[in-house]
A and B are shown apart, each in its own frame.
Chain A
Amino acid sequence: MSTETTTAPVKVKVPKEALFSVKNKRLIYDPLNDNNPITVQVLGICSALAVTVKVKPSIVMAIAVVAVCACSNVIISLIRNIIPNRIRIIVQLTVVAAMVILVDQFLKAFIFDVSKQLSVFVGLIITNCIIMGRLEAFAMANKPWPAFLDGIGNGFGYGLILVIVSVVRELFGAGEIMGFRIIPESVYTAGYFNNGLIIMPPMALIIVGIYIWIQRSRNRKLIEPN
């Protein structure tokens, strides 16, 4: 780890850097832990509650968000110097919407069953504040390569939480992971029941809360001074 203090990865990039310089690597690592979009920036909570009942749709959702976030970051970064300032939010939204529609069309054509489970939530990636947030805060001020890494990093940061929450929910809610039975039948005959509460959205919020608690107790930098 470098010794510099943690800040949001919104910095002006120095020209002629190596592709995977320390700074560029941080663009990927930071969102996984110190600057996680869900647990630290508290963005994109809504879809994290909705799609995490099962692991498989969560993974597909995470991949979709990584794709949309990385592609739109690169596109906005490429055209950042010709976007008229007054309509920049509209431009960002249009690019994100186009990417999301593309992803949705691909899912419907090639992984139909998962696309049914995700239903409206793929479309709602458009409103996921993580993506708009990264476009406005990072892609508008950085070159395409760092913007791409930033998009990948934040997408994975989001996906990581989705997968962790969905593993807990599917394990205790259905006794399975990815559709494979983990809790054996003999435990059920001995009187064990699947937890019906855990498949309801409020429990996802509580699991995210527990994750934040664990993360902050291990990583004291994240605790606010007061």
Chain B
Amino acid sequence: MHKDSNKATFLFSSGMVVVIAVMLSVAAISLGPYQARNIRIEKMENILTSVGIESEPKTAEKLFTDYITEQVVLNNKGEVQTAGTPAFDIDLKKELDKAKTGNQDKQLFPLFICKKDGNSFYIIPLRGKGLWGPIWGYIALKGDMNTIAGVSFGHKGETPGLGAEIETAKFQNQFLGKKILDEQGNFVSVKVVKGGGTSANIHGVDAVSGATITSDGVTEMFKRTLNNYIPYFKKAKP
């Protein structure tokens, strides 16, 4: 059989596809648990960063169990759900998307409660849209469920030097001490706007210059995600 005959060509290509498919499946299955663990650890690190706890991949799991004392699942009326998916495994993107299809009553929101140096912190995951792709993060509120104790942001592919600046400590530190409720207790969120970084403006931080769409994305992300937690905070307020 000549190697350039039609038969040989078909045989060769089918054989090659099978061999490569088997090889890649074996690799994907055997490496899967390591990859899943990395993603869990990254999530733990991000949650810890928002309350200002520095962690490394090696220490993250221990620190997480030490500091995060309670993981709560809420529905959109602010009621605690005891059955179903654990808070850590909830995919916030899917939950937020349920609102688009009118399934608001099925939405679930995770809330992580952290005890650090005798104070309680409420950590809420955030998710929104930047210029080029999704942006996400965690916000930690102090025990009054109003003042921001820390934030950490991540992004898929914002422009380095512009939108990607939301990842820097310089941008994130601006959020410290800002408030998400006004004096009457109504939800106003925090806005990322040009010139918003003055200490007089307790609901605003300075936008990144040259990254208007990413900055607006952060504002929108805060508003859209935090809104879902307000009913719970109103009930739970000490």
Q: B-contacting residues of A (Cβ < 8 Å)?
A: 53, 81-87, 90-91, 94-95, 98, 101-102, 105-106, 108-110, 112-113, 119, 196, 199-200
Contacts and interface: CB of A to CB of B under 8 A. Distances in A.
B170 to A, nearest CB: 13
Interface residues of B, number: 23
B27 A102 contact: yes
Closest CB pairs A-B (n = 3):
A109-B34, A112-B38, A84-B9
**Chain A interface, DSSP helix/strand/loop, else mixed:** helix
Contact of A98 (B4, B12, B24, B35): B24
B8 interface: yes
Contact of A105 (B16, B35, B57): B35
Given A94-B16, A94-B20, A200-B161, 12 more contacts: A53-B160, A82-B3, A82-B8, A84-B3, A84-B4, A84-B12, A84-B13, A87-B9, A87-B13, A91-B16, A95-B20, A102-B27
A94 B24 CA distance: 12
Contacts of A83: 3, 12
Nearest to B164: A199
8 contacts: A86-B9, A94-B20, A102-B23, A109-B31, A109-B35, A112-B39, A196-B161, A199-B161
A54 B161 CA distance: 14
Contact of A199 (B28, B38, B160): B160
Contacts of A105: 27-28, 31, 35
Interface in B1-48: 3-4, 8-9, 12-13, 16-17, 20, 23-24, 27-28, 31, 34-35, 38-39, 42
